[in-house]
Structure 1
Amino acid sequence: MRRKLKKKMLRVTLFLFILGLISGSSIAKTVNNGTTHKKRITVFLAGDSTVSDYSISLAPRAGWGQVFNRFFDEKIVVKNEASSGRSSKSFIDEGRLESILNQIEKGDYLFIQFGHNDEKIEDPTRYTKPHSTYKSYLKQYIEGARAKQAIPVLVTPVERRSFSKGGIARDTHSEYSTAMKELGLEENVPVIDLTSKSKALFQVLGPERTKDVFLCLEAGENDNYPNGVQDNTHFQETGAEMISRLLIESIEELKLEPLRNHIFIYGDKYRQE
């Protein structure tokens, strides 16, 4: 009788032990997948060639979106959907915005930078008028992001490399930049004024030093450009990083949370607490 009782108690004890292991494992799984690990935030980029990714065959050419992920910790995923030659209009017409909206989720960000190709009045597939159609197309990005409970951020177009004979940096996107800032106020959307910030940077650097920002190479300097290149619109990788830093500064200034809480620069915290 005692032997049977002992066996029964042993079976009960073993059952409770196994149940405890299973329960503990389930709890740990729940904690690891939910409570202690917050969902990653994805930052989607919609833009043109100044934002785009480029293959190694075109190096050192790079868009600022190509290096933007370097400035965040592992909780931020940057998904660069920018594409060369696109305007706010053609990006939508080609279904590229729709593709982003099919992926974007609550709490994600949508950074929107257009202007370079919206200015091409000779091309009706891309041209938009700054204070009318440009704003109406940009509004579709804003409304689409908000419908998915994501956060839209407008980015005014980065300046081209253009100086007067006296070495003064020129405005190259003034109407489009102004229109985007107006829309930001109208729609209560944060605006990163990359136009002003990049112009100020280029003014400090001057006509010669900005050649290191843009894709300006002498013949024989790089195997990918044996005849050299003088491109005053697109960046070298070092220039793309400099532009990305301007965006990071703006994220701090605008206090875009929670995004700003995940800013790092090569492993070092960008913002000192």
Structure 2
Amino acid sequence: MKKIHLFCVMLAVLFLSAFKSDRVITIFMIGDSTMANKTLDAGNLERGWGHVLGGYFTEDVRVDNHALNGRSSKSFIDEGHWDEVVSKIKPGDYVFIQFGHNDEKPKPDRHTDPGTTFDENLRKFVRETREKGGIPVLFNSVVRRNFGENPNAIAADDFRPEKADAVEEGDTLIDTHGKYLDSPRNVAKEMDVAFIDLNKATKELVESMGVEGSKKLFMWVPAGVSPACPKGRQDNTHFNIYGARQVAKLAVQAIEKQIPELGKYVRYYDFVVAKDGSGDFFTVQEAINAVPDFRKNKRTTILVRKGEYKERVIIPECKINISLIGEEGAVITDDNYASKKNIFGDEMSTSGSSTVYIYAPDFYAENITFANTAGRVGQAVACFVDGDRAYFKNCRFLGNQDTLYTYGKESRQYYENCYIEGTVDFIFGWSTALFKDCEIRSLGNGYVTAPSTDQGKPYGYVFWNCRLTADAEADKVYLSRPWRPYAQAVYIQCELGKHIVPEGWNNWGKASNEKTAFYAEYQSTGEGANPAARAPYSHQLTDISKYQPEKVLAGNDGWNPIQNGNALLTNIKR
């Protein structure tokens, strides 16, 4: 039962996504093992560059990778794989074509000759793609890491043996593809097709890294590192995760230059997190750990591809300037709660229950869902924010009691177009936080906020143009109650649903709080707006000049995320 609500949210996301499918461009990929998707079994570290390509595009582009290990242009056609791709191509889709590694092999079921049979197969791919309204793009083969004379270099593609003995190598990178590199170029020129010389790009990359450094790109795996090859592996053809990402990056850089209509969808991220192996990491925490400590004046961007990541994420104070960007349907979730016992038998506590902890300054999140699926078991935090200048855009915070913990006393936080849900005190804490154009949804009766603003602080919570909505069971909800005596909450031009009680505010059972807390509204609308019936210690504002967002968030450094987005403040000393 804990995950029912989260499941419904994910279902809604998928339902809405269905209406976008007719606008999505599909890149179909056909080729060999250097391009193909790989199994993730036993911690396999091998990746084809097509496996990771999707992390370099916006969600306007979908990668459908049909490349297969061991296939040549001939066997790909003969086995019916090309017919399967052709049946799916729609006008405006792209087909990326890269063969050669296996066309070189002497086996009759795979071999083709450059200038004749290889070229004719490439023409077939181009011609039939165009007949379906698709856009073909020809690539030549990526380089083999062949330093020195190696007569077995081509045949070695078919084998992935575990190796313990060192391979003797020379100093010069020697080509193994010969005229097979010319065929895609020649056919592209003949048929007026875009051609990307990925061999040249990868050759330059390998040479720049040198004999030893270039092993970092390929499946040179030491013994004992991967269960998939416990004795190690020395493979000069197939890429590891890092290598595949670097080759895909070279491909999209070429696409930007040569195919600008597709290049406009290219995006570059420092790290990609993906459950399907198409990224650098499988978990968000692994990506956070990889961020250099105190990386000043630059942002580290992390793409979180769609999927549910069940993990506890901690962003320590040293991991500054992180931008966490989610694809649609990216959810970070856990199910801890305050009264749950830890390994010592102690209760976790409210602070110890959170799914995500953000201690670092200048954190930015976009299109991420932060969820705690513990259910109605008391306090169970989805997101705990301590760092200063935290900015959340188009994010969702899912939970029940104590969903969003604005923890840092010196923290300023900005929430733009976000969705926050819960039952009791589901936005709470000490921070200065401004919510703009957000939906604040009550799942049951209770209190929307419980600020604990310190005495003397100019601001607590400020809501601008937000919508307060509710599930059917919620019919008695207060705008706020003071967790600490000097709590502050101000609602400006917000639409309040009928679930908001006429008195609006609650004193948490202490009359003394009425003298110290500051609760106010300005031009509330909706069925829950009732200024005449509000608690007498609350205020109806006539002047909101001091509550302009740039003033609320300015602090001593002039932080203005509305004007500057998530740009870095280069004048801040750290």
Letter in 1 for 2:263: R
The 5-angstrom pairing of residues 196-207 of structure 1 reads 196-207=200-211
Asked if 1:233 is matched to 2:237, the reply is yes
Question: How much has 1:166 moved relative to structure 2?
Answer: 5.2
How many Å separate the matches in 2 of 1:33 and 1:128? 43
Letter in 2 for 1:261: K
Question: How much has 1:235 moved relative to structure 2?
Answer: 0.5
Matched position secondary structure for 1:265: coil
Please point out which of 136, 142, 150 is paired with 2:126. Answer: 142
Letter in 1 for 2:262: L
Question: How much has 1:174 moved relative to structure 2?
Answer: 2.6
Please point out which of 184, 187, 191 is paired with 2:188. Answer: 184
Please point out which of 33, 39, 52 is paired with 1:49. Answer: 33
Matched position secondary structure for 2:118: helix
Which residue does the alignment assign to 2:144?
A: 160
How many Å separate the matches in 1 of 2:36 and 2:65? 7
Which residue does the alignment assign to 2:108?
A: 124
Matched position secondary structure for 1:208: helix
Letter in 1 for 2:145: R
Asked if 1:262 is matched to 2:246, the reply is no
After alignment, is 98-107 or 177-186 more displaced? Answer: 177-186
Which residue does the alignment assign to 2:217?
A: 213
TM superposition score normalised by structure 2: 0.40
Asked if 1:72 is matched to 2:57, the reply is yes
Matched position secondary structure for 1:100: helix
Matched position secondary structure for 1:124: coil
Structure having the higher strand fraction is 2
How many Å separate the matches in 1 of 2:76 and 2:253? 27
Determine if contact 1:173/1:195 at 8 Å carries over to the other structure: no
**Which structure 1 segments of 5+ residues have no match?**
1-31, 269-273
Matched position secondary structure for 1:235: strand
How many Å separate the matches in 1 of 2:199 and 2:174? 11
Q: Considering only CA atoms, is the larger Rg found in Structure 1 or Structure 2?
A: 2
Q: Deviations along 1:116-175, whole A, 9 cap, x unmatched?
A: 000002x11100001110000111100110000100000100011111365222112131
Which residue does the alignment assign to 1:19?
A: none
Which residue does the alignment assign to 1:103?
A: 88
How many Å separate the matches in 1 of 2:170 and 2:44? 32
Q: Deviations along 1:160-200, whole A, 9 cap, x unmatched?
A: 11113652221121311112111111111111101111111
Question: How much has 1:209 moved relative to structure 2?
Answer: 1.0
How many Å separate the matches in 1 of 2:197 and 2:136? 14
How many Å separate the matches in 1 of 2:87 and 2:261? 22
The 5-angstrom pairing of residues 243-254 of structure 1 reads 243-254=247-258
Letter in 2 for 1:113: Q
After alignment, is 176-185 or 65-74 more displaced? Answer: 176-185
Letter in 2 for 1:248: V
Question: How much has 1:75 moved relative to structure 2?
Answer: 0.3
Structure having the higher helix fraction is 1
How many Å separate the matches in 1 of 2:96 and 2:22? 22
Distance 1:43 1:132, change over 3 A: same
Which residue does the alignment assign to 1:11?
A: none
Question: How much has 1:221 moved relative to structure 2?
Answer: 2.2
Matched position secondary structure for 1:85: coil
Matched position secondary structure for 1:66: coil
- Structure having greater relative contact order (Cα 8 Å, sep ≥ 6): 1
How many Å separate the matches in 2 of 1:225 and 1:167? 27
Q: Deviations along 1:35-57, whole A, 9 cap, x unmatched?
A: xx971100000000001111112
How many Å separate the matches in 2 of 1:109 and 1:90? 21
What is the alpha-carbon root mean square deviation over aligned residues? 1.9
Letter in 2 for 1:85: G
Please point out which of 186, 190, 197 is paired with 1:193. Answer: 197
How many Å separate the matches in 2 of 1:60 and 1:131? 36
Letter in 2 for 1:199: K
Question: How much has 1:218 moved relative to structure 2?
Answer: 1.6
Which residue does the alignment assign to 1:82?
A: 67
Question: How much has 1:258 moved relative to structure 2?
Answer: 2.2
After alignment, is 110-119 or 219-228 more displaced? Answer: 219-228
Letter in 2 for 1:52: A
How many Å separate the matches in 2 of 1:211 and 1:63? 16
Asked if 1:171 is matched to 2:155, the reply is no
Determine if contact 2:77/2:83 at 8 Å carries over to the other structure: yes
Which residue does the alignment assign to 1:115?
A: 100
4+ long deviations beyond 2 Å:
none
Matched position secondary structure for 2:136: strand
How many Å separate the matches in 1 of 2:40 and 2:75? 26
Letter in 2 for 1:158: V
After alignment, is 162-171 or 144-153 more displaced? Answer: 162-171
Asked if 1:151 is matched to 2:155, the reply is no
**Which structure 2 segments of 5+ residues have no match?**
1-17, 149-168, 270-302, 304-322, 324-574
TM superposition score normalised by structure 1: 0.82
Q: Deviations along 1:25-83, whole A, 9 cap, x unmatched?
A: xxxxxxx969xx97110000000000111111262100001000000001000000000
Q: Percent identity over the alignment?
A: 39
How many equivalent residue pairs?
A: 234
Q: Deviations along 1:223-267, whole A, 9 cap, x unmatched?
A: 22111111111010100000001101110221x142111001235
How many Å separate the matches in 1 of 2:174 and 2:252? 24
